[in-house]
Amino acid sequence: MTNTMIEDRLDLLIDGSSRPAAGGQTLDVKDPSTDGLLTRVADAQPEDVQEAIDAARRAQPTWAALPPRERGQILYRVAQGIRADADRLAHIESSDTGKPLRQARADVEVAAQYFEFYAGYADKLYGDTIPLDGSSFALTFREPLGVTGHIIPWNYPIQICSRTVAPALMVGNACVVKPAEEAPLAAVLLGRIALAAGVPAGVLNVVPGRGEVAGAYLAGSDDIDHISFTGGVDTGRIVMAAAATNVKPVTMELGGKSPSIVLADADLARAVPVITNALIQNAGQTCAAGTRVIVHESRHAELVELLGERFRGVTLGRGTDDPDMGPLISSVQRDRVLGYLDIARNEGCTVAAGGGAPSLAGLDGGYFVSPTLLDGVSSDMRVAREEIFGPVLSVLTFADQAEAAALADATAFGLVTSIWTTDVDRALWLARHVKSGQVYVNSYGAGGGVPLPFGGFKKSGFGREKGLEAVYEYSQTKMVAFDVRSQA
C-alpha cells in the first residue's frame, strides 16, 4: 500500500459494527496519481444493503424520539470528531480522489461545518399555527421521513456525504450511505466518527460497493423513504426510475455547464484568478465547475491572453504534494476528457492553452490532463453544451447583455452562474434573467457555502441541499386541525 494512513482494508459499517461483505468480495481502490493500489474496501451485495436498511429501520424510531436538542448535541460532537481527525482525513481524501491537499483540507472543514450548522438548528425546527373559522385552528409539524438513502459521488466524498447526511439525521431520519466505488474511504471513516460521537448503532450505515449492485438495490428498495443522489444525468435518470417504481421522493443534484459572464466593465485582474480556480478545482470534476466564459467582444482578446498565461502556470502533481491541480479520478475519466478535446479540434476550436495529457516525472501512470482553454467556441458546439467533467474551459463572446443571458442559458443545465461587472443594475438584470440555481456577482462560490441553498434548474436536477431548505428535503409536513366550538 502507498499511504501508511490508510488501512489495508475497510469493511462495511452496519448497525454499529464493521464487517466484510457477504461472500467476502472486495473492490480495489486506486491512487489516481499513479494508478497504484491504495487499499481495498468491502464490495456490498444486495443482502448487505438490505441488512443496513433493516438496521436503520429498527434504530430510527428511537433516534427520532430523542429531544431535538440532544440530537443537535450529538451532531455537534460529530463536527468535533471530524476536526480532531482533520489531518488524517484530508490526507486520505487527497490520496483517494487525487485532489490537492489544501482542497482536501477545505473539504474536511466544510464537512465539519455541515454537522455544526444543522446541530444548531435541531431545536429550532418549528411548525406553524393556522387560524380557521371562529376559534378553530390548525397546527403543522415537521416529521422525519424514516430511512433515507444517500448515493454519494467520487468528487467530494466527505463533503457531499456530510451535506446530505447531517440534515437528514438532524430531522430524525436514519441513513444508509452508498459511497462511490472510486473514492469510498472518507464515507466509511465518517461513519466511524459518527458512531464514536454518540450516533446510535444503526442510525448511520455505510455500504461501499458497485453502483450497478449496491446502488441499484438501494435506489430500488421499497424499504427506503427517500433517495438523495449526486452524480451524472444518465445515472440520475436510472435512480429516479427505480425510486418512482416505489413512489419514493428523490433529491437530484446532477450536472452543470456553468458560465462566467464577463461584461465590458469587468475587473479582469480580479476575475481571472477566480475563473481559473473555478475550473481547475478538483481538476474540473465538479458539477458546479465554471466551464464556460461568456465575455463581451471588446474584452475577448485580453481575457484569453490573461487566462492562457494563468493556465500555463498551473502546477500539476500528486494530490498529497499539494500542487495547483491533481489528476482526474480514473483512466476512464481521463480518456473521456481527451476525447472531448479531439471533438473540440474537429469542431474548429482553437486550443489557446493546454490540450493534452502531460508526462510527469515519477507519475507516469497518473490520470493527468493539462488545464485547457478553448477559444473560437460557438453555442452549438458539443464542447459548449455538454458536461465534460474535466479541466476544459470554453470561451464564447457576446455583443449585448441580452445575448449574454441567451448564451448562458443555451445548455440543458442551470446550476451556477457568475457575473463580472461593476454595474449593479446590469448584474441584477442578468441575475434575474439567467436560469440558474445559484448566481454569484464578482465571485464564484462562497467558501463552503453551507448556509446557501444549492441546486439546479433544468437538467441540473431538483430539490435543494445546504442551508435551511435542505431540512425540507428530509422531512414532511403533518397538519392537525382543531374544530373548537364556542362555549358562549
Q: Which are the catalytic amino acids?
A: 253, 287
DSSP state of 90: H
Q: Are 475 and 145 in contact (CB under 8 A)?
A: yes
- Three-state secondary-structure class, residue 380: coil
One-character DSSP codes across 409-457: TSSSEESEEEEE-S-HHHHHHHHHHS--SEEEESSS--TT-TTS-B--E
The CA–CA distances, whole Å, from 414 to 210, 287, 303, 450, 454 equal 29, 10, 24, 20, 11
- Rg for the chain, CA atoms, rounded: 23
Helix or strand run (H / E) with residue 286: none
Taking phi over 0 as left and psi of -120 to 50 as alpha, with beta for the rest, 466 belongs to left
Minimal CA–CA distance to 180: which of 330, 318, 61?
Answer: 330
Spatial distance between the Cα atoms of 351 and 308, rounded to a whole number of angstroms: 10
Backbone phi and psi for residue 402, each to the nearest 5 degrees, phi listed first: -65, -40
Task: Record the cell numbers describing residue 267, joined without a space.
Answer: 475587473
Q: Are 297 and 114 in contact (CB under 8 A)?
A: no
Instruction: For helices 101-121 and 157-171, give the axis angle rounded to 10 degrees.
Output: 10
- Three-state secondary-structure class, residue 144: strand
CB burial class (10 A; 0-12, 13-18, 19+) of residue 321? Answer: middle
Q: Are 152 and 178 in contact (CB under 8 A)?
A: yes
